[in-house]
Each structure stands twice: as C-alpha cells, then as structure tokens.
C-alpha cells in the first residue's frame, strides 16, 4: 500500500484569549494519499481553518499556538522544521488557497508580477521564462485574455477571476499538496462549478493531492475521494466519499446530510441542526455533540467516545454508531 503524502497525528492548536484556553483544534488525525481529494466538512467554528493554517504553520501569533502533534509531509515532521526550512516548503511543496482572494493578493502589484514572483522565489527561472509560464498558467485556469490580465491589478478583476488567479498562483510550482479553504464560497454557482472542475484537472495533470475545506455537502459529493467530518475541534467521522453518503454513521453527519435540500422535493429552507457548537474554551467532558444529538443516551455525557473503526477505513466517534 502506498504511504500517505500527509499524515497528521493528534494535532492540537490552542488560542489564549482573555486568559482562557480556546481549543480550536483538539487532537486531529488526518491522512492524505497521493492524488487524493480529501474534503473536510463541519459547521463554522469546528476548527477547519485552524487545521489548515497549522499544516502551513501560519497560525496567528502570538495568541495561537500548536501545542502538540505531528504533521508529517513525505515522512518529514513539518512542526520540527526551522522557519526558514518551512518557508521553502510553502508554495514549493504545499500551497494554500484562501476563501477571500483579496486578502492573499497584493493590491498594488500587477497580477503578472505576483504570479511570477512565486516562480522567481522558488525556482531558477529567468524573468522572461517566468512571464511566459505565467501567461500559460492563466490560460490553463481558463482566463482567455491572459496577456492583458498580467498587466492588471487585483481590484480590476471579478471575484471569479481573482479566485482563478489564486489557483494559478497556487499551482505554479506544481505543489504536491494543495489546501483550499472554502475557495468557492464567495463565488456564484456557475463560476463555482468551473473552479471545481479546474481543481480536479490540476489534480489529474500534476498528481496534486488536495485538502478541500467546505461546509457545502453538494461540493463534497462532487469532489471527495475521502471525507473527514469535524465537530468542535475533533474528527467525528472519516470515510470514503461513497461510504459517507451511503452509510453516514455519526449522528452529526446524519444531521448534516439532512440539511442538504433534497432535489426531489421543493422545500426551500435549509434544515439546520438545532442548538450550537459548544464553546471551545469550555468543552464538556463527554461527547461534544451530546446536547444536540437526537439519539444521545445518559452515558454519552460521561466520557469522550473514541474514534473507532466500524468498517475498514470508516471511523466514527460514537459508541452507538
């Protein structure tokens, strides 16, 4: 069997906020195999972004801190690298696409300049070669007037265009791992579909593995080889895309799936799960979903259920699944 490209073990990332310890990521295990698309789903506040920022070692300082765990990339623990070594991995081996491209693009630098900077920083290209490669990459992400766009600034582009530019930048160094944190949330449906297709094409062409973070289960169904469901800083279910949609086993996953509007009925209101995610500064000692769970039993609030394998490759953090 092939080795995972990325193997996260017991990752914990905490914040100190008003003298309280906020456990944003609280013991995550996650594996990504070569060419695999792993979707990470969960409601807002479940720790998805902090997991990806931890992999990139971009957790906001000084309040946030990775307190323990391993993030093995090609066998090497990223958490043990010096800042200088880590900087070389970013962009070169691992790239990230953020939800709001404006925050990641430099407003006073032309598109062409910022994309070629990525190349010039990481590889031995001449300026001329970098420019040609930039135009080629913009064309690949479906930007037809690439020759013109290289001379434009981020604010001159539409949201969909900016997101494509971000993807072009992220793919420029042909990373082994691409982390996309809700990359299509701000886009309209048509553009979203195009961006998703594009990312799959990139996977096929460059053998890139992708961690795709989203709270949209329609997107998960479209993209995922494997799905990891997060709740309150933990993994509550992990399974192949097929298993997850056909045999959802954690009550939280089931509730999430019921929240997808069905195509063959005309209810328009999204089902939402009653109650709220528990406060990450004061998690209960038992199952973190117990107070919202329709099938909770008294024992559920007494001890934290372990993540256990109910079928080969299908893990669930529920004693009654």
Ligand X SMILES: Nc1ncnc2c1ncn2[C@@H]1O[C@H](COP(=O)(O)OP(=O)(O)O)[C@@H](O)[C@H]1O
Name the minimum Å distance from CB 122 to ligand X.
27
46 binds Mg ion (CB under 5 A): no
Q: What are phi and psi of 178, to 5 degrees?
A: -115, 130
Residue (99 or 259) nearer to Mg ion, CB: 99
Q: Which of 20, 63, 127, 297 binds ligand X (CB under 6 A)?
A: 63
Between CA 116 and CA 229 the distance in angstroms is 36
Residue 106 binds which one of ligand X, Mg ion, none, with CB within 5 to 8 A depending on kind? Answer: none
Name the minimum Å distance from CB 22 to ligand X.
4
17 binds ligand X (CB under 6 A): yes
52 binds Mg ion (CB under 5 A): no
Residue (61 or 144) nearer to ligand X, CB: 61
Name the minimum Å distance from CB 48 to Mg ion.
5
Q: Is the peptide bond before 232 cis (omega within 30 degrees of 0)?
A: no
DSSP helix/strand/coil, 128: helix
Name the minimum Å distance from CB 40 to Mg ion.
10
On whether the CB atoms of residues 17 and 191 are closer than 8 A, the answer is no
DSSP helix/strand/coil, 303: coil
Between CA 137 and CA 72 the distance in angstroms is 29
15 binds ligand X (CB under 6 A): yes
Cβ within 8 Å of residue 230, ≥6 positions away: 28, 40, 41, 42, 46, 47, 48, 51, 236
Residue (244 or 280) nearer to ligand X, CB: 280
Q: Rule CB under 6 A: which of 231-290 touch ligand X? A: 280
Residue (81 or 281) nearer to ligand X, CB: 281
95 binds Mg ion (CB under 5 A): no
Q: Pick the stretch among 47-55, 123-131, 133-141, 278-286 that binds Mg ion (CB under 5 A).
A: 47-55
On whether the CB atoms of residues 228 and 235 are closer than 8 A, the answer is yes
The sign of the CA dihedral 74, 98, 280, 16 is positive
Q: Pick the stretch among 46-54, 111-119, 243-251, 313-321 that binds Mg ion (CB under 5 A).
A: 46-54
Sequential DSSP letters for 254-295: HHHHHTSPPTTS---SPP--SS-PPPTTS--SS-TTGGG-TT
CA angle 254, 257, 260 (to 5 degrees): 155
Name the minimum Å distance from CB 62 to ligand X.
11
Name the minimum Å distance from CB 78 to ligand X.
18
The size of the interface with ligand X (CB under 6 A), counted in residues, is 16
The sign of the CA dihedral 17, 94, 207, 99 is positive
Residue (185 or 240) nearer to ligand X, CB: 185
Q: Which of 36, 49, 51, 243 binds Mg ion (CB under 5 A)?
A: 49
What are the distances in angstroms from CA 210 to CA 38, 129, 200, 226? 6, 27, 9, 10
Q: Which of 8, 50, 227, 244 binds ligand X (CB under 6 A)?
A: 50
183 binds ligand X (CB under 6 A): no
45 binds ligand X (CB under 6 A): yes
49 binds ligand X (CB under 6 A): yes
Structure tokens at 242: 């097929």
* Interface residues toward Mg ion, by CB under 5 A: 48-49
* Interface residues toward ligand X, by CB under 6 A: 15, 17, 22, 24, 42, 44-50, 60, 63-64, 280
């Amino acid at each position: 069997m092939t080795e995972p490209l990325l193997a996260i073990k017991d990752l914990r990332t905490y914040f100190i906020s008003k003298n309280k310890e906020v456990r944003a990521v609280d013991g995550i295990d996650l594996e990504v195999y070569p060419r695999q698309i792993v979707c990470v789903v969960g409601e807002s506040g479940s720790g998805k972004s902090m997991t990806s920022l931890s992999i990139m070692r971009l957790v906001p300082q000084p309040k946030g801190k990775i307190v323990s765990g391993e993030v093995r990339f090609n066998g090497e623990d990223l958490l043990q690298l010096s800042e200088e070594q880590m900087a070389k991995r970013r962009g070169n081996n691992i790239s990230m696409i953020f939800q709001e491209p404006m925050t990641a693009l430099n407003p006073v630098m032309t598109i062409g300049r910022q994309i070629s900077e990525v190349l010039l920083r990481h590889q031995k290209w001449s300026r001329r070669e970098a420019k040609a490669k930039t135009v080629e990459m913009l064309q690949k992400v479906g930007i037809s007037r690439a020759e013109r766009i290289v001379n434009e600034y981020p604010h001159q582009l539409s949201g969909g265009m900016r997101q494509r530019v971000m993807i072009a930048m992220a793919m420029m160094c042909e990373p082994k791992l691409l982390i996309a944190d809700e990359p299509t949330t701000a886009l309209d449906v048509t553009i979203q579909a195009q961006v998703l297709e594009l990312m799959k094409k990139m996977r096929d062409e460059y053998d890139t593995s992708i961690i795709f973070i989203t709270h949209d289960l329609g997107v998960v169904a479209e993209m995922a080889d494997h799905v990891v469901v997060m709740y309150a800083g933990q993994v509550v279910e992990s399974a192949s895309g097929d298993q997850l949609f056909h045999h959802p086993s954690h009550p939280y996953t089931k509730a999430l799936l019921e929240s997808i509007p069905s195509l063959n009925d005309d209810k328009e209101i999204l089902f939402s799960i009653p109650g709220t995610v528990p406060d990450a500064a004061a998690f209960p000692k038992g199952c973190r979903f117990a107070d919202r769970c329709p099938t909770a039993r008294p024992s559920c609030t007494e001890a934290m259920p372990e993540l256990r394998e109910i079928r080969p490759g299908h893990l669930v953090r529920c004693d009654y699944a």
